A and B are shown apart, each in its own frame.
Chain A
Amino acid sequence: MSTNPMHQFNVYRIGPEISFGNVDISFTNASLFMMISAFIIISVFFAGTKRKAIIPTKIQLLTELSYTLISKMISDTAGSKAKPYFPFVFSLFMFVLFCNMLGMLPYSFTVTSHIIVTFALAAVIFVGVTIIGFVHHGVGYLKLFIPSGVPLFLLPLIVIIEIISYLSRPVSLSVRLFANMMAGHTMLKVFGGFVISLGIIGGWLPLSFAVALTGLEILIAFLQAYVFAILTCIYLNDALNLNH
C-alpha cells in the first residue's frame, strides 16, 4: 500500500473518538501536524524575542526579518489602513509556510495538501474581507462590482463577471495552495516509487529527479505561502481602499 502516491494524504484518527453532538471532531494526524507547526512557530518566535538585543542574535534576526517582510508586503499592497490586519496576515503566512515546510520531511503529513483545510482558511479570509469591506464602505462596497469607465450597455455583463470572480476568490485561493502541495508531494512519491521499482541499476535517474524536485518543492512551499499572504493583502486592499 505504501507505493500508492495518495496514501500519504490519508487522514486517520489518533487517540479516542471525540464527538460534538453527532459530529465527529476526533484528533487526527492532520490536527497533530497543525499543532506541531503552530508549536514550532511559537517556540521559534519565543526564542527570537526572549532577549531584546540592540544587535540581534541570529534567531532574533530571523523573527525581525520575517516581521519586516510581511509588514512591507502589507503596506506595499494594502496601504497604511491595513495595519490592524497585520497580525492576521503574519500568522497566516507563518502557519501556511510552516505547514508546507513540515510536509517536506519524510513520513510527515502535509496539512495544506487538504482542500478542506485551505478552503477553511480561504473562507475565513473571504468572509472577513467582505465584512471589513461593508464595515468601511457600507453599501458603497458594492461599487467594487462596477468598474469605472465601462460602457452602459456592457455593465450588466461586467457586473455578473465581477461578482463571479469575487465569489470564486476563496475557491481559487484554496485550490491554488492545495493543488500545488498535493501535486508536488504526489510527484515526489511517484518518483520515489520508481526508484524502488527500477532498483539499483535504473533507480539513479528518478532519484536525481526526486532530489531536484525536493529543491523545487521547498521553493514552492515558500512561494505558495507568500502568494497566499499577498493575495490576502490584495483582497484587503480591495476592501479597504475600493480602488478597482
Chain B
Amino acid sequence: MFGIDWETIGPLYVRAFGQTLYMVSVAMLAGGLAGLVLGTLLYTTRRGGLLQNRLVYNVLNFVVNLIRPIPFILLLAFIGPVTLAVVGTQIGTEAVIFPLAIAASFAVSRIVEQNLVTIDPGVIEAARAMGASPLRIILTLLVPEALGPLILGYTFMFIAVVDASAVAGIIGGGGLGDLAIVYGYQRFNYPVTLLAVITIIVIVQLVQVLGNALARRALRR
C-alpha cells in the first residue's frame, strides 16, 4: 500500500514512532518542570520581584542566554561529556533525551518568565497585603493567574521539541526523523519520508488542538 514495503518498514515505523514519543514526552516533562522552576526564579528575582536578587538573576539570565542560542544539533555534541556522565552513554535514545530536556528547560524558562511578567502586579500586591508569603504567592497564585498563556507556551515548546528530536538519528537515537532520512531519503524511498513527515504533522496538529482547547478553558473564552 502507498508503495511501502510494510513487511520491513512496518515494525521500523512503529519503533520510530515510539522512540519519538518517548524522547519528546520525557524531555518535555523534565525540561518543562525544570523550565518552570527556572522561569519562576528569573521572574521572582528580577528587579521589583518577590524575591528580588540581583546576583541570582544576573547569573541565571546569563546562563540562559548562553545556552539558548546554540543550535540543538551542536548542543547535542557540545554537552556530550555531560550526557555521558549523567546518562552513562553518549549514544542511543536516552542519550538524546538529556540534551533535549536541557534545551527545552532553557527555552521554557523564557516562556514562563515572559508569561509571568504579564501578570498584573496589583494582583501580587493584593496577595502581599493579605499577608501572603512570597512562597505561597509563587505556589498558589503565579501559575494559575498565567495559566492560559502558559499552556499555549508549552504547546509551542512541545512542537519545538518534536522538531529538535528529528536529529536524534545522528547519535543513534532513532525516531521518526531518523526513519525519514535513513529509510526514506538515503534509499530513495520517498513514500517512507512522506509517511514520517505526515506522522509528525499529525502529532503536531493534535497537540496544537489540545493545547488550544485547554488554554481556552483556562481563559474561559
Partners in one complex: no
Q: A residues bordering B, Cβ < 8 Å?
A: none
